[in-house]
């Protein structure tokens, strides 16, 4: 009914908008049940700067009707810096220092656990370039007995370089990472080799967001079916 109403020209604009939003909520609910059942879950979209994390994280959050939190937004908001203005070299040295980064990941974890406590899913969007941050999240989420997955975006050096270069032409980019930072960013990124296979999805991000999103949904669906299969206890 809401789906029909959202496309009827004789229905008032406000009503069509409300109906469209309702349809989105129903679709999100159906997709959440298909991927996670009635459980909350945490999706940690990670990977090197320029791999397309934020675009994918926003798309996943929209499809599931979940909140999306971004490390760069938290970092700049905490420093009272304009979100879409690139910081100077001097400011970036402090902004991306290890002590500040530790606080950012602690905030990300606190927000994530608050959602889990309310039995809400969430999409976390951050590089997660250090093993200790991934381990910290893994240990905390395991204690909560909640499904969680690191979704590592993998792409070629050429694609990353092109995307970082394009950022100078784009207005609404929160991250300060640019092409000149490519070598440094490659050097400091630690691959998630310590993450257990059942919590790690490696995604080819060379294609557009719709293709990548479909890939993630297929993977999550397969993992949910596998969880259900292993939990099944046949009748006596």
Q: Hey, CA dihedral for 171, 173, 174, 180, is it positive or negative?
A: negative
Q: Which of 2-16, 65-79, 87-101, 181-195 has the highest mean pLDDT?
A: 65-79
In a domain, 236, yes or no: no
Predicted confidence at residue 13, as pLDDT, reads 53
The reported pTM is 0.85
Predicted confidence at residue 233, as pLDDT, reads 42
Same domain as 85, residue 25: no
In a domain, 218, yes or no: yes
Tell me the mean pLDDT in the region 46-57.
Answer: 95
Least confident span in 7-11, 82-86, 156-160, 231-235: 231-235
> If pLDDT is split at 50, 70 and 90, which confidence band does 28 have?
confident
Same domain as 225, residue 134: yes
Q: Is the pLDDT of residue 166 over 80?
A: yes
Least confident span in 25-34, 128-137, 185-194, 211-220: 25-34
Identify the DSSP state of 58: H
Boundaries of domain holding 11:
1-36
Q: Is the pLDDT of residue 228 over 90?
A: no
Structurally, the chain folds into a number of domains equal to 2
In a domain, 124, yes or no: yes
**Tell me: the pLDDT tens digits for 217-226?**
999 999 988 8
Same domain as 92, residue 64: yes
Same domain as 188, residue 162: yes
Same domain as 77, residue 48: yes
Identify the DSSP state of 39: S
Residues near 186 by Cβ (< 8 Å), separated by ≥ 6?
Answer: 48, 157
Phi, psi torsion values for 141, nearest 5 degrees: -75, -30
Read off the CATH number of the domain in which 52 is found: 3.40.50.300
Same domain as 25, residue 5: yes
Same domain as 79, residue 6: no
> If pLDDT is split at 50, 70 and 90, which confidence band does 9 have?
low
């Amino acid at each position: 009914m809401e789906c029909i109403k959202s496309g009827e020209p004789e229905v008032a604009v406000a009503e069509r908008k409300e109906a469209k939003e309702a349809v989105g909520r129903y679709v999100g609910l159906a997709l959440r049940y298909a991927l996670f059942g009635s459980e909350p879950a945490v999706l940690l979209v990670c990977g090197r700067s320029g791999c397309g994390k934020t675009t994918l994280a926003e798309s996943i959050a929209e499809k599931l009707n979940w909140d999306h939190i971004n490390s760069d937004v938290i970092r700049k908001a905490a420093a009272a810096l304009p979100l879409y203005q690139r910081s100077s070299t001097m400011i970036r040295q402090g902004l991306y220092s290890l002590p500040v980064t530790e606080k950012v990941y602690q905030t990300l974890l606190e927000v994530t656990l608050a959602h889990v406590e309310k039995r809400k899913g969430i999409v976390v969007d951050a590089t997660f370039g250090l093993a200790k941050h991934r381990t910290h999240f893994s240990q905390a989420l395991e204690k909560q007995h909640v499904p969680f997955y690191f979704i590592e975006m993998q792409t070629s050096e050429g694609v990353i370089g092109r995307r970082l270069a394009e950022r100078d032409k784009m207005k609404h980019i929160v991250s300060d990472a640019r092409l000149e930072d490519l070598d440094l960013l490659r050097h400091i990124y630690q691959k998630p080799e310590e993450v257990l296979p059942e919590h790690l999805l490696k995604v080819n991000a060379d294609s557009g967001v719709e293709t990548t999103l479909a890939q993630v949904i297929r993977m999550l669906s397969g993992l949910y079916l596998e969880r259900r299969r292993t939990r099944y206890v046949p009748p006596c």
